[in-house]
């Protein structure tokens, strides 16, 4: 690791507070170098962290974390915070088994007061901390940091609507991509400069205190003065969204001028009321490739990771674009994940049929339902972990009305590097409870194409789930379809010759293949049923019953999702009702009641889902 003259001195926020003003700029430069070195080596979120270096330094110089509370929206931009709060020496373990989380995490440090991973939640959480401190009479300030993109999420506005004026809550709005409020012209600059002067708050509080003490007319007079000031300001400056909500507003501030940031934060802190500090930053600041293409450097893979020629997301986008050329009712919806879900080609070809609704998954599902009710065929592409936010909309607006919305679930299953906030382990159990639902789990690109084509003609809700990354070539080479339709595939000809059967779906079939080969060397013959259409379970059970042997056999379901209410439980409930199951042993390998709080390349082994665990389970049955 490189030697860092200034960064090596920082082991806690206290060390940062002791630094001289002329040492801050070189420290920020060293932090950026450190981030580039570590994130390029281990993977992670780079551009967003490079953009908040000066901001994070300023926050820790002005406030006393953890006595004061610091909450990051999403948390993927908390790397600088981790460095400052004593975790610098652990950065080689970032997003690895037993290592640092890529997000804030309460169990990792007392400086992480609130865990995160999903967007638009920070103000709600910060409001909770600030209200609790008010009720408990704690002398603490809560600082919330969120990007302008989070404002596309409804929770932000729900929380702002709930903000009370007399809370010690400071919301730092980091504007780095789009304009939230119109703040241009000389008057805006003068107002910001005025508010950053130390005498501004003192004078404001003095006038308020003096007038409030005048009997009868004092408080009305102060209110009149305040309203008159606002009217004059609005004439020259225009209305401000945050001030209209009753929040004290400072900004916009250059988010890469650490001295200005400190001044703004101190002003906001001294006003002792709910405040907005509006800053502007550059994503990827200080690293030319990330500044030029912040989207590409938002999240990067480890240095030595295997390059991919294509993946399920890209193939989905390609196939959907082909379908839209043939069917002018096909349209695409994304919740601020146009690139991540593979929809860029579609958006380029059909901009009028592409809808990026922002970080608003609930709205996306109901919007899709409205489109469907009027005859369109929307495909909503969403990560499994974010689909959870829209469960009520899936049930109430889509399924209850039996509207044939198509949900395309990306990143299904375990995702080793991002950890518990991004594992896609709940969607199967969640959707298994939804009436009239069809659920596909294509394990190859060709099967993905078939699923999309079949879904296009369905007259009821459906979802298509697929894993992150590439298809597994062994699936293509080893398995064949039981019939021409997408449904189930097998790697055996006659089940009567088998000692055991593994029924699974998704890319975890790779572990089943390894287990089969290990057991075959020990004289135990194992067949695999690869399920590519999970629901309806009634038809799945019928297809599986048709190929089960009459003789006794061990049947094991394997899934990388939660067991409760999931694939194995639902399938067994259908199978056990049949007489042919009387002489069969049945068991399930799945995630127990857990949030899968583990990382690393051996993620299957971490949860007992790997080949050797399968081998042991079959032998025990």
Give the mean pLDDT of 225-244: 54
- Whether residue 327 has pLDDT greater than 80: yes
pLDDT tens string 80-122: 999 999 999 998 888 887 788 888 889 899 999 999 888 889 9
Is residue 185 very low, low, confident or very high in pLDDT (cuts 50, 70, 90)? very low
Residue 96 CB coordination number (10 Å): 17
Q: Considering only 402-411, 467-476, 599-608, which range has the smallest mean pLDDT? A: 599-608
Helix axes 21-42, 53-62, angle to 10 degrees: 130
Q: Considering only 27-36, 416-425, 548-557, which range has the smallest mean pLDDT? A: 416-425
Q: What is the pLDDT of residue 528?
A: 96
**Catalytic positions:** 283, 361, 389
Residue ranges with strand state E in 22-150: 44-45, 69-72, 142-147
Q: What is the pLDDT of residue 580?
A: 83
Give the mean pLDDT of 49-53: 92
Give the mean pLDDT of 377-382: 97
> Could you tell me what percent of the chain has a pLDDT over 70?
88
Give the mean pLDDT of 576-592: 88
CA distances from residue 591 to 537, 594, 607, 610 in whole angstroms, order as listed: 20, 7, 7, 12
| Closest alpha carbon to 103 in 61, 65, 71 | 71
Write the DSSP string, 531-584: ESEEESHHHHHHHHHTT--SS-EEEEEEEEEESTTSHHHHHHHHHTTSGGGGGE
Q: What is the pLDDT of residue 423?
A: 87
Q: What is the pLDDT of residue 240?
A: 65
Two tokens, residue 198: 């130390």
- Whether residue 144 has pLDDT greater than 60: yes
| Closest alpha carbon to 200 in 213, 191, 210, 188 | 191
Is residue 371 very low, low, confident or very high in pLDDT (cuts 50, 70, 90)? very high
CA distances from residue 605 to 140, 590, 608 in whole angstroms, order as listed: 43, 12, 5
Cα end-to-end distance, the chain, whole Å: 50
CB-CB contact of 170 with 268 (8 Å):
yes
Question: What SS3 class is residue 379?
Answer: strand
CB-CB contact of 71 with 129 (8 Å):
yes
Task: Report the C-alpha gap between 403 and 500 in whole angstroms.
Answer: 40
Q: Considering only 78-82, 231-235, 466-470, 608-612, which range has the smallest mean pLDDT? A: 231-235
Q: Which of 207-221, 474-488, 494-508, 596-610 has the highest mean pLDDT?
A: 494-508
- Whether residue 196 has pLDDT greater than 60: no
**DSSP state, 398?**
I
Two tokens, residue 414: 């375990």
Residue 93 CB coordination number (10 Å): 16
Give the mean pLDDT of 232-258: 72
Higher pLDDT, 102 or 350: 350
The sign one gets for the Cα dihedral 44, 47, 48, 49 is: positive
Q: What is the pLDDT of residue 288?
A: 81
Q: Specify the DSSP element, H or E, that contains 510.
A: helix 509-520
The sign one gets for the Cα dihedral 19, 25, 28, 34 is: negative
Domains of the chain: 7-183+240-300 (3.40.50.970), 312-465 (3.40.50.970), 482-620 (3.40.50.920)
pLDDT tens string 13-41: 999 999 999 999 999 999 999 999 988 88
- Whether residue 184 has pLDDT greater than 50: no
Question: What SS3 class is residue 587?
Answer: strand
Q: Considering only 191-200, 325-334, 476-485, 536-545, which range has the smallest mean pLDDT? A: 191-200
Q: What is the pLDDT of residue 135?
A: 94
Average confidence score pLDDT of the chain: 86
Task: Report the C-alpha gap between 348 and 327 in whole angstroms.
Answer: 17
Give the mean pLDDT of 374-400: 95
- Sheet (strand 438-440) strand order: 354-356, 330-334, 377-383, 406-410, 462-465, 438-440, 533-535
Is residue 219 very low, low, confident or very high in pLDDT (cuts 50, 70, 90)? low
> Could you tell me what percent of the chain has a pLDDT over 90?
59
Helices in 258-298 by DSSP H: which ranges? 258-270, 288-292
CA angle 197, 203, 206 (to 5 degrees): 150
Max CA-CA distance within the chain? Answer: 96
CA distances from residue 6 to 10, 19, 61, 472 in whole angstroms, order as listed: 7, 9, 15, 47
Task: Report the C-alpha gap between 292 and 484 in whole angstroms.
Answer: 47
Q: What is the pLDDT of residue 177?
A: 60
Q: What is the pLDDT of residue 558?
A: 97
Q: What is the pLDDT of residue 401?
A: 95
Is residue 153 very low, low, confident or very high in pLDDT (cuts 50, 70, 90)? confident
Higher pLDDT, 232 or 520: 520
């Amino acid at each position: 690791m490189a030697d860092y003259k200034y960064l090596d001195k920082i082991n806690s926020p206290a060390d940062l507070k002791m630094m001289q003003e002329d040492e801050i700029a070189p420290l920020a430069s060293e932090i950026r170098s450190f981030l580039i070195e570590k994130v390029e080596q281990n993977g992670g979120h780079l551009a967003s962290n490079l953009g908040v270096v000066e901001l994070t330094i300023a926050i820790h110089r002005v406030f006393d974390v953890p006595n004061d509370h610091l909450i990051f929206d999403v948390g993927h931009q908390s790397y600088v915070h981790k460095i400052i709060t004593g975790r610098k020496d652990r950065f080689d373990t970032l997003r690895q088994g037993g290592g640092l989380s890529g997000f804030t995490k309460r169990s990792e440090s007392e400086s992480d007061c609130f865990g995160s991973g999903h967007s638009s939640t920070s103000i709600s959480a910060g409001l909770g901390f600030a209200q609790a401190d008010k009720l408990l009479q704690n002398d603490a300030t809560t600082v919330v940091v969120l990007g302008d993109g989070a404002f596309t999420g409804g929770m932000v506005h729900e929380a702002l609507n709930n903000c009370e004026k007399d809370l010690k809550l400071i919301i730092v709005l980091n504007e780095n991509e789009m304009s939230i409020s119109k703040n241009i012209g000389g008057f805006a600059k003068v107002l910001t400069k005025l508010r950053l002067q130390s005498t501004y708050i003192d004078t404001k509080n003095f006038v308020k205190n003096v007038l409030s003490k005048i009997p009868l007319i004092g408080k009305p007079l102060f209110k009149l003065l305040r309203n008159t000031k606002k009217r004059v300001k609005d004439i020259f400056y225009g209305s401000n969204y945050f001030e209209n909500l009753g929040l004290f507003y400072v900004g916009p501030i250059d988010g890469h001028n650490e001295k200005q940031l400190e001044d703004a934060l101190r002003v906001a802190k001294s006003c002792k009321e709910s405040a907005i500090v509006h800053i502007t930053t550059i994503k990827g600041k200080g690293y030319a490739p990330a500044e030029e293409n912040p989207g590409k450097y938002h999240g990067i893979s480890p240095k030595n990771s295997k390059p991919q020629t294509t993946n399920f997301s890209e193939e989905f986008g390609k196939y959907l674009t082909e379908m839209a050329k043939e069917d002018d009712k096909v349209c695409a919806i994304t919740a601020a994940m146009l690139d991540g879900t593979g929809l860029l080609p579609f958006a380029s070809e059909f901009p009028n049929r592409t809808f990026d609704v922002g970080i608003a998954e609930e709205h996306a599902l109901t919007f899709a339902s409205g489109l469907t009710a009027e005859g369109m065929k929307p495909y909503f592409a969403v990560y499994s972990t974010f689909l959870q936010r829209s469960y009520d909309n899936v049930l109430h607006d889509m399924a209850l009305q039996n509207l044939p919305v198509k949900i395309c679930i990306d990143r299904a299953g375990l995702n080793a590097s991002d950890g518990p906030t991004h594992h896609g382990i709940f969607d199967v159990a969640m959707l298994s409870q939804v009436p009239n639902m069809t659920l596909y789990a294509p394990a190859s690109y060709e099967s993905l194409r078939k699923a999309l084509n079949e879904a296009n003609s369905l007259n009821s809700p459906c979802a298509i789930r697929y894993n992150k990354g590439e298809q597994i070539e062994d699936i293509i080479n080893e398995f064949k379809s039981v019939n021409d339709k997408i449904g189930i595939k097998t790697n055996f000809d006659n089940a009567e010759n088998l000692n055991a059967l593994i029924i699974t779906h998704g890319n975890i079939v790779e572990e089943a293949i390894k287990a089969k080969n290990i057991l075959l060397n020990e004289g135990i013959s194992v067949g695999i049923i690869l399920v590519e259409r999970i629901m309806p379970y009634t038809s799945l059970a019928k297809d599986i019953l048709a190929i089960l042997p009459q003789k006794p056999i061990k049947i094991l379901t394997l899934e990388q999702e939660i067991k409760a209410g999931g694939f194995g439980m639902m399938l067994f409930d259908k199978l056990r009702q049949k007489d042919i199951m009387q002489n069969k042993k049945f068991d399930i390998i799945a995630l127990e009641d857990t949030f899968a709080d583990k990382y690393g390349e051996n993620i299957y082994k971490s949860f007992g889902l790997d080949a050797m665990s399968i081998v042991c389970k079959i032998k025990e049955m």
